Structure 1
Amino acid sequence: MKNSKKIGILFGKENTFPQAFIDKVNELANGKFIAEAVKINKAVQGEATDYAVIIDRISQDVPFYRAYLKNAALNGTAVINNPFWWSADEKFFNNCLATKIGVEVPKTVILPSYQLPDDTSEESFRNLAYPLDWESIFDYVKFPAYMKPFAGGGWKSVYRLENKEDFFDKHKETAQLVMLLQEEIVFEEYYRCYCIGGKYVKIMPYEPRNPFHLRYSANFNPSEELYKKLENDVLTLNQYLGYDFNTVELAVRNGVPYAIDFCNPAPDADRNSVGEENFNWVVEYAAKFALEKASAFEPGKDNLTWGKYLQSAVAMQALK
């Protein structure tokens, strides 16, 4: 490792969070560590980077960056979030895991893409029954329902469906996207929650039915009991998935929180959308956790975070 005293942030179009993060790290570090925007002038196999820690805000959109970060992690950099797990994860698995760890999620099924993927033919799908058992699927999920990409981000290609005719009509529009069909949770309260380091949680009232710029202007106020349940679910999900930086969205129906979306490893942290209070919190705790990772850094070792799901799988293999 060339310089274990450096903390970098890798980012794209966003403007407010990266510089605020850099400034906060440098303020809290008292000269022990230096934070800066990551600079890449070459990426050579097996060579270490200049950074003890890199916080990743963009590699989901830039495959070159993802490959760079995997090599950096191999050589000891603590990448936030773990680029290997992030590459493997998607929303359907998230839901599947939630059913095993006691977190409520909407009834959900995954659907093959409407159009054949490139470089495939009907012969590629000889193991897929056609037509699918649509009536059983619809009876399980029920309508109204939501359809959204199993690996997508934000609100792109998200549909609210009234009935099966509406489903078949809208599914045609999804082309080669693999979609989730998901039960609608008609909620009384809704929360979007930052989770950093698997231990710091910020529960934010959120109204997804509002225009985008007003979604954090919500008046939901959880009881002490509900707050603890929200916090526990957020921590449980992130500790099992192994995300250092993520958001979890929870819709509360009849007093029960349902995890709606919790695969957001580069979540919105823009001052103009999340608001001043939430922005200050996420900057503070992202910087705090990055410094914790830098302080715990061991040169040449694996400094990534691995979730309990993978940890338990490895432990079971070791016992065989």
Structure 2
Amino acid sequence: MKKIGILHGMENTFPQAFIERVNSKGEKGIVAEPVSIGKVVQAEPTEYAVIIDRISQDVPFYRSYLKNAALSGTAVINNPFWWSADEKFFNNCLAEKIGVPVPKTVILPSHERPTDTFETSFRNLKFPLDWEAMFEYIGFPAYMKPHAGGGWKSVYRVEDPHDLWRKHQETGQLVMMLQEEIVFTDYFRCYCIGQKEVHIMPYEPRNPHHLRYAAQMNTEGPAGKKLLATIKDYVLRLNKALGYDFNTVEFAVRDGVPIAIDFCNPAPDADVYSVGHNNFEWIVEAAANMAIERAKKQKPGKDNLTWGTFVRSAVGTTAPTEPAGEANGAAAKPKKPGTAAPGKK
């Protein structure tokens, strides 16, 4: 028997629907259930062939549990090692390298020194920074947000340098990004499951949370079809490069060009009351099919994680993009209608 577990927190609608959908398919030797953790002993395998992770970004204990599980053969979705290393500023850097448009972005040192650091800890940092060049590159108004944050926490719209100085004082030890404001005509949020299934949803980030998916999609005619095809291509490029099997990507469309605003959402919103029934149905079905596929391919004691093309190419491997267990069981190595603010998780 191969178990598919889902590790979650306060969520109610998606986890239960996912479990019921997997079990309703009647796959021989495969069952889904909530993850149950009684003890965590180093190098001991779990009882799960696959774990869908929806909460470890907020619970360090769970992240360590998942790394140990992955080391012992569980196919953890998403890869906990890469998720631990990833952050939004790097995402933007990688997007430029693979040809996906993103807002102009710079990174700012934290307003307060990190704990246990001193003035001499920053002797390699120029004082003052070249603020004038950065402001000329980004322009105002702009958005300031944490380089590794999630959701809408500590996100600021800044009007000018003085507004930036004032709001930066509120950010404490957070490392912030300063990002170009994108004036958009259309906005989309796209689910990507298993690095192959893409669901494009019209999204209005200025609406109240429960109404953001109520936007209409203006994609009629050849131009609209071309836009959707481009968005799908960009979604797949990003997720294959990053190695995420469960993620969302947000695009603001400016002058007909989709610009990736936020694409580091490895535990994205999947609640039926926010995404709506039709979108929820797609997410549940795609996630269930992906988890079953991964369970069938999982090889006990082997590396069953997905590694993105960036990591795999960095170590010089030409292994396929499928989970490591595919490669003969060998452990694969990482070879003016609107304005866009950073997307929510």
After TM superposition, the score normalised by the length of structure 2 is: 0.90
- Structure 1: how far apart are the matches of 2:295 and 2:317? 30
Once the two structures are superposed, the pairs formed by residues 117-132 of structure 1 within 5 Å of their partners are 117-132=114-129
C-alpha contact 1:25 1:291 (8 A) present in aligned 2? yes
Give the drift of 1:28: 1.7
- Structure 2: how far apart are the matches of 1:29 and 1:104? 43
Counterpart of 1:206, as a letter, is Y
Residue 297 of structure 2 is matched in structure 1 by 296
Residue 56 of structure 2 is matched in structure 1 by 59
Give the drift of 1:31: 3.9
Which one is further off, 290-299 or 24-33?
A: 24-33
Secondary structure of the equivalent of 2:294? helix
- Structure 2: how far apart are the matches of 1:89 and 1:165? 31
C-alpha contact 1:29 1:291 (8 A) present in aligned 2? no
- Structure 1: how far apart are the matches of 2:54 and 2:187? 25
User: Is 1:22 the equivalent of 2:19?
Assistant: yes
Q: Which runs of 5+ in 1 are unaligned?
A: none
- Structure 2: how far apart are the matches of 1:120 and 1:203? 45
Once the two structures are superposed, the pairs formed by residues 252-267 of structure 1 within 5 Å of their partners are 252-267=253-268
- Structure 2: how far apart are the matches of 1:151 and 1:214? 26
Give per-residue Cα distances to partners, 1:166-224, cap 9 Å, x unaligned. Answer: 11111111111110000000001000000010000000000001111111111122311
Which one is further off, 89-98 or 217-226?
A: 217-226
- Structure 1: how far apart are the matches of 2:279 and 2:175? 33
Residue 187 of structure 2 is matched in structure 1 by 190
Relative distance call for 1:217 and 1:309 in structure 2 (3 A) is: same
Residue 91 of structure 2 is matched in structure 1 by 94
Secondary structure of the equivalent of 2:184? coil
- Structure 1: how far apart are the matches of 2:317 and 2:142? 38
- Structure 2: how far apart are the matches of 1:316 and 1:18? 35
Counterpart of 2:288, as a letter, is A
Q: Which runs of 5+ in 2 are unaligned?
A: 319-332, 334-345
User: Is 1:134 the equivalent of 2:131?
Assistant: yes
Once the two structures are superposed, the pairs formed by residues 1-320 of structure 1 within 5 Å of their partners are 5-222=2-219, 223-315=224-316
C-alpha contact 1:14 1:270 (8 A) present in aligned 2? yes
Give the drift of 1:316: 6.3
- Structure 2: how far apart are the matches of 1:32 and 1:25? 12
Runs of 4+ in 1 over 4 A off after TM superposition: none
- Structure 2: how far apart are the matches of 1:316 and 1:264? 27
- Structure 1: how far apart are the matches of 2:56 and 2:245? 15
